[in-house]
Each structure stands twice: as structure tokens, then as C-alpha cells.
Amino acid sequence: MVTARRTVVRSTSLMPAVTSLHPGPTRFEGGLTEVGSGIHAWLQPSGLLGESNAGLVIGDGASLLVDTLWNPRLTRRMLAAMAPLIAKAPIETLVNTHSDGDHWWGNQEVAGAEIVATEAAAAVMAEQSPAEMKRFGLLAGALRLAGSMPLPYPRRGDVGAIAAYVGGALEPFAFEEVRLVPPTRPFSGRLELDVGGREIHLIEVGPAHTPGDLIVWVPDSRIAIAADILFINVTPIMWAGPLEGWVAALERLLDLGAERLVPGHGPICGPEEVRRLIDYWRWLDRAAADRLEAGRSPAEAARELVLGDEIAEWGFAEWLGPERALVSVGTIDAHRRGVAKPPGPRELVGAFFRMALLARDFAVRRGSDQRRD
Ligand SMILES: [Zn+2]
């Protein structure tokens, strides 16, 4: 028996590096970083599913946390890194920017804080359960098994691709410990808070990404914590829409004069990246409308766009997760037909299945896929 000798790597930091949760390269530096005076971002590379960021604004003797993470374990790691900062300025206010679990399912770790969200987000949160995500993960496990069995049924490769995509996406996250702690202070429109003498504005900009999105604006430093209104180097996903609402939210960020922005997913950015995201939405809207009017289904239209040349010409094929256009085009179409509604668990499963196959085909099309069925 060979006993491996443990190598001790000495680091100047006590915290282990925050690397990508999903397989693949870590595309930007993760962990706690100071964005401006007394404003810190917790960044989780590489910004894909559940790899969400958070923000901390420190005032005199009190601080405000913007979002928790997808489960208690990830949230505890973040709070441990923040501990020296919040020792003299405890978190009195927790803001949940929207209803997606990767921005609030760690709330239980922030004891005693007032929890603020929009009324629209709070209404969606009240309907959620981590058990659903767990069931989704179990389904992926069952599919993975089916895909690996040497049965001569057609589309075994499809089943395998779906299982790898869904199972792989949920693998880094454990939901057993999650106990949902909902907002205690819902608001609508706009809310101005004083946190240790510091003025912080919460501005409702949804429905856009989800039904109840908000952005956090810190006027004294011209920094916005924009959450999932911004995906940087990662393809955005529009669950709720309308698209015009999302574009208006992005224009709002530019109008505020934000110089540095913390996205919900991806690295810290400036106004140039906000304009790029507006370009993406305008392109997708126009290109999808052309195809829908020509009689294609939303899924067909999205497939053509993701596998076509235009996406590469615009540079959007470089963003992670291009297959998310499937969901966004579905939302665009639903608004055009006046039948938009938030996806239920059934629609969610269907959307992930279709995204899995499109992600595989995109990888093959771009020649970056080494795996073949
Ligand atoms: Zn998110």
C-alpha cells in the first residue's frame, strides 16, 4: 500500500481560494474583494448556475448584506470571510434582490437581521421549496443511470446528455440543510435606508429576470449592486420578462451614473458591459421575432440562433451558457402572445432538458467538444 504524503501549501491568506463550483476553469478571481470604500463583493466564479455573488455595504456600527447564497454551507463560507469586516458593524439589514434560491436560501445564517425584498419577490419566495430541487437532482441521477445502460433504445445519447447537464449542474449544491427564512420587510417601488449613517437606495426594477427584481444603489460611492439584472461573461436567462423591462432596468443603471457594478453572476464590471447586455437583448429580441413571425416555434428559433453565425459575429458565443436563450426566447414569445406566466416545476424540468441538448449541440458545432455519444 502506498501512502500519499500530504503536501502543505502555505498561503498568505487563511481562507482557501474560491474557485469555480462546476467543473472547468475558474474564469475570474473569486472571494471577497473591496469594490469601493466600505463596499465589498463576494464573487463566485465562474458565474454559472448557482455560482452567485453577494455584496456588503459597511456603515458606522452597522452593515447591510445584499443576498445570501444557494445553501447554508456556501453562505457560512462567505460570512466567515466577512467576519473581520462585520465584527464592529454587524449585519442589521439583509436585502434579497429577487426570488431565485441562489440569492436567498442561505438566509438562516444571518440571524436577527431585518430581511428586505420586493413584495413581488416575497410572493414567489412563499411558494418555493428546496424539496423540489432535490427531486430534480434525483431525477437526473435516474436519467444518468438510464443513459449509461446498454439498452438499444433510441436517443440514449440524449438521455445521457440531459442527465449529465442537470445532475452536473446541481451536484455542488446540497439542499438538505436549507430552512427557508422569508423577508420580514416587503416593499414596492423604492426604499431608502440608512445603514450606520450611509444612504442606500433599493430600487425595484422587476419584473425582468424574475417577477420581483431590485437593484441596490450606493450614491456616496457611485456603486450599484445590480444582482441578476447583470450577468457578465455569462448568458443571462429571462424567466419572467418582459424584455423591455430588463432593458429599462439596464438603462436605469446607466442613468444612475454607476461607475462600478457588482453583477449577480460574473466579475465586477463598468458601464461598457451594461451596454453590451443591452445589445444582447436587442439582438435576441429582433432575431427571435424574425423567426417567430416566419412560423418557427420558440425552441426552433432559439436553436437556430444559438447554433447560427450571428451569435458568434456579435461575440455572444463567448459567454458561458448560450443555450439559456431557449428560456429567454420562450419568454419573449409568451409575452408576444400575451400568455406569460412564471414557469412551474414541470416547465422548469422541460426547459433544463432542452437546454441540455442545445448545450451539447452548441459544443459540437463550435468544435470544442471532445465527447461523442
Ligand atoms: Zn442568480
pLDDT at 351 over 50: yes
**Local confidence band at 12 (pLDDT 50, 70, 90 cut-offs):** very low
pLDDT in tens, 219-238: 999 999 999 999 999 999 99
**Ligand 1: distance of its center to the CA of 50 in Å?**
6
- Beta strand pairing call for 91-95 and 39-43: unpaired
State the cell numbers at 307: 447554433
The predicted structure's pLDDT at residue 15: 74
**Ligand 1: distance of its center to the CA of 210 in Å?**
10
Q: Quick one: average pLDDT of 28-47?
A: 96
pLDDT at 149 over 80: no
The predicted structure's pLDDT at residue 368: 56
pLDDT in tens, 178-224: 999 999 999 999 999 999 999 999 999 999 999 999 999 999 999 99
CA distance 57 to 220: 11
pLDDT above 90 as % of the chain: 75
The predicted structure's pLDDT at residue 151: 62
The predicted structure's pLDDT at residue 238: 97
**Ligand 1: distance of its center to the CA of 104 in Å?**
10
**Ligand 1: distance of its center to the CA of 156 in Å?**
31
**Ligand 1: distance of its center to the CA of 293 in Å?**
31
**Ligand 1: distance of its center to the CA of 85 in Å?**
24
The predicted structure's pLDDT at residue 367: 77
**Ligand 1: distance of its center to the CA of 305 in Å?**
24
Contact yes or no for 121/210 (Cβ under 8 A): yes
The predicted structure's pLDDT at residue 226: 98
pLDDT at 3 over 50: no
The predicted structure's pLDDT at residue 145: 74
The predicted structure's pLDDT at residue 23: 85
pLDDT in tens, 40-66: 999 999 999 999 999 999 999 999 999
**Ligand 1: distance of its center to the CA of 54 in Å?**
10
pLDDT at 372 over 50: no
**Ligand 1: distance of its center to the CA of 186 in Å?**
20
Q: What is the mean pLDDT of the chain?
A: 91
- Worst-scoring range by mean pLDDT, 128-132, 202-206, 237-241, 258-262? 128-132
- Beta strand pairing call for 185-187 and 190-195: unpaired
**Local confidence band at 156 (pLDDT 50, 70, 90 cut-offs):** confident
The predicted structure's pLDDT at residue 1: 40
pLDDT above 70 as % of the chain: 92
Non-local (6+) Cβ contacts of 161 within 8 A are: 147, 356, 357, 359, 360, 373
Q: Which of 33, 31, 36 is nearest to 200 (CA)?
A: 36
Non-local (6+) Cβ contacts of 169 within 8 A are: 22, 48, 49, 50, 352
Q: Quick one: average pLDDT of 76-94?
A: 97
**Ligand 1: distance of its center to the CA of 107 in Å?**
15
pLDDT at 92 over 50: yes
**Local confidence band at 153 (pLDDT 50, 70, 90 cut-offs):** low
pLDDT in tens, 264-320: 999 999 999 999 999 999 999 999 999 999 999 999 999 999 999 999 999 999 999
**Ligand 1: distance of its center to the CA of 206 in Å?**
14
**Ligand 1: distance of its center to the CA of 337 in Å?**
27
**Ligand 1: distance of its center to the CA of 68 in Å?**
11
H helix and E strand count, the chain? 10, 12
**Ligand 1: distance of its center to the CA of 264 in Å?**
6
**Ligand 1: distance of its center to the CA of 19 in Å?**
17
pLDDT at 155 over 80: no
Residue with cell 452597522: 62
* Model confidence, pTM: 0.91
**Ligand 1: distance of its center to the CA of 46 in Å?**
12
**Ligand 1: distance of its center to the CA of 288 in Å?**
24
